[in-house]
Chain A
Amino acid sequence: MNNFDYQKAATVSDVVGKSTFVAGGTNLIDLLKYNLTNAATLIDINTIGEHHDILEIEDGVRLGALATNADTAYHPIIEQRYPLLSRAILAGASAQIRNMATNGGNLLQRTRCYYFYDPHAPCNKRLPGSGCSAINGYNRNMAILGTSENCIAVFPSDMSIALSALDAIINIKSEDGERSVDFADFHRLPGDTPPIDNNLKPGEFITSIDLPLKGFAKNYSYLKLRDRASYAFALVSVATGLELDGDTIRDVRITLGGVSHKPWRVKDAEHYLIGKKADRENFSAAADIILQGAVGFAHNTFKIKLAKKAIVRNCMMALDPSTQLPGAQPSA
């Protein structure tokens, strides 16, 4: 790790246009230790006097970017109205890390591709133009959807998978003013610019994340499949929210995690399900729509079948959310 200067920020205007911000530090300090990123000055944004709270707003709920993942997941409003988000947050990292990690930082965490972390391996995300070691290397954890010939990395956030399903909106401040971005338009596919994970520009500050009113609190489920029952990144994860009229689907959201460079949501699949019966057969057909175009590499082709089963199982669990357990999930 290289040395850097350090400042505590008091207001948002102290920080916009500058770099590098540190929030919980759980990703940034790790990257600094690996010399994967460099900072002349770390600007501590935790000392900013606002954006730490979970607030009710007119058309939903506003999550402060500086609120911790734990405080968000356990907030009564989130537990009661957006339990899908609670579940997804609590499926990520460890209790200690969730006590530190912030909502803003979670959306901006970088990939866990092992070659990205290995300074001796070519990697287009770390060093543009050097090549991608994963495509012909060990790629068990890598993406099956939205990949490019330049990068097949996965975006590892669990929280973001639920935020995608909930149609969240990201509020951003810059020197030029404020803007809001739909969750679907925030993260990017690697294309020919693998170093760029998302559409936040340098110097921009995330102030908050808004959740629209619809929380799918009655029928929801988050399923995370991984190599151990807890404290591991997803191989495949699924967030499902369902709104039912008897056993007919009135509204539905399905987002896949662990399979792409961004949360993977296919609205055609949701349109297909609306008005149909909430059963295995229909969920299975929707899963096929979601996974259209999925391509596996030498060690991760299993993810295509796993994702299909995970979607169906998670939608079935959403019919009865009490079937969800922490850690190892029961078979539906």
Chain B
Amino acid sequence: METESFTKTHQATTVTPRTITLSINGQQHALTILPYVSLLDALREYLDLTGTKKGCDHGQCGACTVICDGKRIISCLTLAVMKEGAKITTIEGINHPIQQAFIDHDAFQCGYCTPGQICSAIGLLEEGKVKSREEVKDSMSGNLCRCGANQQIIDAIMQVKGGDNE
């Protein structure tokens, strides 16, 4: 979404912005937005929480992954107005052993996918549904890494998760 189309749409419609409160990283944020603003844009453009990244804006890359009520979701295909009352955690609110494991395993190069990878990894660990390395790979496939750090990312997760690394 470009700024230009934002302005155009604002003018072309009678829908009025509304004020909502979002709970992010334990803090309440009031913001006045139009209903069509994605959670991702609300974080980045309205709340200056730019740690969450926009890759594709279409659900295909996982860069925008955040944790919502304990579960990993993509923030580009949900609307901020739909998340009133939910507890959202972004990379800015995370302090978790997986971060040190990423450093230990060199689990990034450019770092663009990393906030999404970390949120997704925490979601995976908390869901507790996958066991083997193969299952962890499958469960992390919603997060693309164009630098190809995937092996190291899986290594980092396996280290924190413990158990069989086959």
- Determine if A96 is an interface residue (Cβ-Cβ < 8 Å): yes
Return the contact of B78 from the options A29, A230, A325, A326 (Cβ within 8 A).
A29
Q: Which B130-154 residues sit within 8 Å CB-CB of chain A?
A: 130, 134-135, 137-143
Give Cα A156 to B128, complex, Å.
28
Most buried by B among A25, A94, A327: A94
How far does the alpha carbon of A96 sit from the alpha carbon of B73 in the complex, in Å? Answer: 4
Cα of A93 to Cα of B143 in the assembled complex, Å:
11
Option from A25, A70, A93, A325 in Cβ contact (under 8 Å) with B79: A25
Q: How far is the CA of A26 from the CA of B1 in the complex (A)?
A: 17
Contact A44 B72 (CB under 8 A): no
Find residues 1-45 in chain A having any chain B CB closer than 8 Å to their own CB: 1-6, 22, 24-26, 29-30, 32-33, 42, 44
Determine whether B52 belongs to the interface, using a CB cutoff of 8 Å to chain A: no
Residue A266, interface by CB 8 Å = no
- Does A95 sit within 8 A of B, measured CB to CB? yes
- B15 contacts A3, CB within 8 Å? yes
* Contact present for B137 and A327 (CB under 8 Å): yes
Q: How far apart are A104's CB and chain B's nearest CB, in angstroms?
A: 16
Assess whether B59 is in contact with A30, with CB atoms less than 8 Å apart.
yes
Q: Is the CB of A100 within 8 A of B1?
A: no
CB <8 Å contact, A74 and B123: no
| Among candidates A5, A26, A229, residue contacting B35 with C-beta atoms closer than 8 Å | A5
Closest residue of chain B to A325 (Cβ to Cβ) is B134
Residues of B within 8 A of A42 (CB): 35, 79
Q: Is B101 an interface residue (CB 8 A)?
A: no
Q: How many residues of A contact B (CB 8 A)?
A: 32
**Contact at A327–B58, with CB atoms within 8 Å?**
no
Q: Say yes or no: A26 contacts B12, CB within 8 Å.
A: no
Q: Which residues of A contact B3 (CB under 8 A)?
A: none
Q: Are B35 and A95 in contact (CB under 8 A)?
A: no
**What's the Cα separation between A192 and B43 when bound, in Å?**
44
In the assembled complex, which residues on chain A have CB atoms less than 8 Å from the CB atom of B74? Answer: 26, 94, 96-97, 100
A99 close to B138 (CB less than 8 A): no
Q: How far is the CA of A3 from the CA of B81 in the complex (A)?
A: 13
Assess the A3–B138 pair: CB atoms within 8 A: no
The reply to whether the CB of A231 lies closer than 8 angstroms to some CB of chain B is yes
How far, in Å, is B99 (CB) from chain A's closest CB?
A: 19
Contacts of A25 in B (CB 8 A): 77-79, 82
Chain A residues in 8 Å Cβ range of B38:
29
Partner of B36, one of A3, A95, A99, A230: A3
Provided the pairs A231-B142, A326-B134 are in contact, do residues A94 and B62 lie with their beta carbons within 8 angstroms? yes
Say yes or no: is A46 at the interface (Cβ < 8 Å to chain B). Answer: yes
> Which residues of chain A (248-306) have a CB below 8 Å from chain B?
none
B33 to chain A, nearest CB (A): 10
Closest CB in chain A relative to B75 CB, distance in Å: 9
User: Given contacts A5-B15, A95-B142, A97-B142, could you give 9 more A-B pairs where the C-beta distance is less than 8 Å?
Assistant: A1-B9, A4-B15, A22-B79, A25-B79, A26-B74, A42-B79, A94-B62, A96-B123, A100-B73
B interface residues with partner A (beta carbon < 8 Å): 1, 9-10, 12-13, 15, 18, 34-36, 38, 57-59, 62, 65, 71-74, 77-79, 81-82, 120, 123-124, 127, 129-130, 134-135, 137-143
13 A–B contact pairs at CB < 8 A?
A1-B1, A2-B12, A3-B9, A4-B36, A22-B79, A24-B78, A30-B77, A33-B1, A93-B142, A95-B123, A96-B123, A326-B130, A327-B141
